Chain A
Amino acid sequence: MTNAPRHTALDALHRALGATMTDFAGWDMPLRYGSERDEHVAVRTRAGLFDLSHMGEITLTGPQAGQALDYALVGNLSALAVGRARYTMICDAEGGILDDLIVYRLADEEFMVVANASNAQVVLDAVTERAAGFDTVVRDDRDAYALIAVQGPASPGILKSVTDADLDGLKYYAGLPGTVAGVPALIARTGYTGEDGFELFVAPGDAEKLWQALTEAGADAGLVPCGLSCRDTLRLEAGMPLYGHELTTATTPFDAGLGRVVKFDKDGDFVGRAALEAAAERAESAPPRKLVGLIATGRRVPRAGFSVVAGGEVVGEVTSGAPSPTLGKPIAIAYVDAAHAAPGTEGVAVDIRGSHEPYEVVALPFYKRAR
């Protein structure tokens, strides 16, 4: 057993680009290439290129692949149309979130589950175990794909210049097989930035060729390589949860304000159903705490784990925080007691190393792109 970090197929390229690397869930990943702020702005205004090859792919095939996922996950995946994708979650029997996922239906009898790198093994093990009674085969495809994302308002134009695939017909949360820059790819219109964009699943051996082609195709539009640091501030502004921060095994989808992903009306039982029904009831009648946005009036930055305070009492906890390049102020997502969770609530502060810095309570997200 070795603890050496894993490297993606694009590792040499990142180093040649002078990336600052960081350990992320056992992978050596680019944190930033230059200024993370400039990378963030590039994605909001032009385009950015990301290596997301650490994400974990799991493929299910066979006549009962959909039913197996209906049982294993909280969503209604057998109802998903071929070529479409769905944001969903996998929970334990107590309703705690094991991971949040995107599931693509690639064919009638083929689904691809994309898990967070940090949870990929847990998800693979759980799905394999839960699918045992169904006529399906669960395949570990983590090493079968590199994942490159091109995100930002200029991304459709950039991608169109290197593919004949029908991108105009490709809706948000849809995916289709195609060829990009001569490379076979699953082209998905998904992302984690709050912008329009695409995620391209390709064979690791093709990753460098695709990255270089996109870099060239995007040069005039101002596309830049982007690291995980700006990916985090982009998703935070867009109010998207991150596993290990807003989502944990101690939270249910209802705690996180994402109860809509739980489909009680699907056929058959699923893991966590009874606990989640109770969680839904609790969230409806007496929510213990709510996930809210906080915007600083000062300049000190709240970080995960900092206490939210009001009237001298701790009323919540920050789960993610960062300076927001778009708002020009520090922002945070926090779980806050329901009594202090309404937007505009007065007197809420974050304890930043002993100093109570005033914060404004707002509804999520902080940023929504114009459509």
Chain B
Amino acid sequence: MSNPQQLRYTKEHEWLSAADENGVATIGITEFAANALGDVVYAQLPAVGDTVAAGETCGELESTKSVSDLYAPVTGEVVEANQDVADDPSLVNSAPFEGGWLFKVKITDEPEDLMSADEYTAFAG
């Protein structure tokens, strides 16, 4: 599997796109994380208007075998949650870097330890 170069990554296996001109970034989980979870059957995503804090839980992903907390990679306000994933959580497995994105945040602060694609690939093994 390959981790897209233009994204940044966390140790919790989330990815973060570059912020657009409004300071909004898209967030999802990596293919590595999706494979480790197995079939995702339920995604509890943060609601539009919620404030999320970097490194803190903001939702959960439930798979056949387990439930995993979803962590916010950055601090900011949620401006969109992916309704397609709420309706069909299997998108997280089939297209984790694309149609399976989870939510968008208008960033107010971000941690310094976000990883590049190469750093994350080495981290995830």
Q: Which of B20-28, B34-42, B46-54, B106-114 contacts A (4 or more CB under 8 A)?
A: B34-42
**Could you tell me which residues of chain B, from 1 to 52, have a CB within 8 Å of some CB in chain A?**
35, 38-39, 41-42, 44
Q: How many residues on the B side are at the interface (Cβ–Cβ under 8 A)? A: 12
Interface digits, A200-238 against B, CB 8 Å rule (1 contact, 0 not)? 000000000000000000000000000001000100000
Asked whether A36 lies within 8 Å of B42 as measured between CB atoms, the reply is: no
Q: Which range contains the number of A residues in contact with the other chain?
A: 10 to 19
DSSP class of A's interface residues: helix, strand, loop or mixed?
A: mixed
Asked whether A32 lies within 8 Å of B38 as measured between CB atoms, the reply is: yes
Residues of chain A contacted by B39 (CB below 8 angstroms): 35-37
Give the CA-CA distance A303 to B67 in the complex, in Å: 9
Give the CA-CA distance A32 to B39 in the complex, in Å: 10
DSSP class of B's interface residues: helix, strand, loop or mixed?
A: mixed
Give the CA-CA distance A31 to B41 in the complex, in Å: 17
Which A residue sits closest to B65, measured CB to CB?
A: A229
Asked whether B42 lies within 8 Å of A300 as measured between CB atoms, the reply is: yes
Give the CA-CA distance A32 to B90 in the complex, in Å: 16
- B93 CB within 8 Å of chain A: yes
Asked whether A301 lies within 8 Å of B41 as measured between CB atoms, the reply is: yes
**Could you tell me which residues of chain A, from 18 to 41, have a CB within 8 Å of some CB in chain B?**
20, 31-32, 35-37
- A358 CB within 8 Å of chain B: no
Asked whether A301 lies within 8 Å of B38 as measured between CB atoms, the reply is: no
Which B residue sits closest to A230, measured CB to CB?
A: B64
> What would 10 A/B residue contacts be, using CB atoms closer than 8 Å?
A32-B38, A36-B65, A229-B64, A233-B64, A299-B41, A299-B42, A301-B41, A301-B67, A322-B65, A353-B67
By a beta-carbon cutoff of 8 Å, the part of chain B in contact with chain A is 35, 38-39, 41-42, 44, 62, 64-65, 67, 90, 93
The list of the 6 closest CB pairs from A to B, nearest first, reads A323-B41, A299-B42, A37-B39, A301-B62, A36-B64, A35-B39
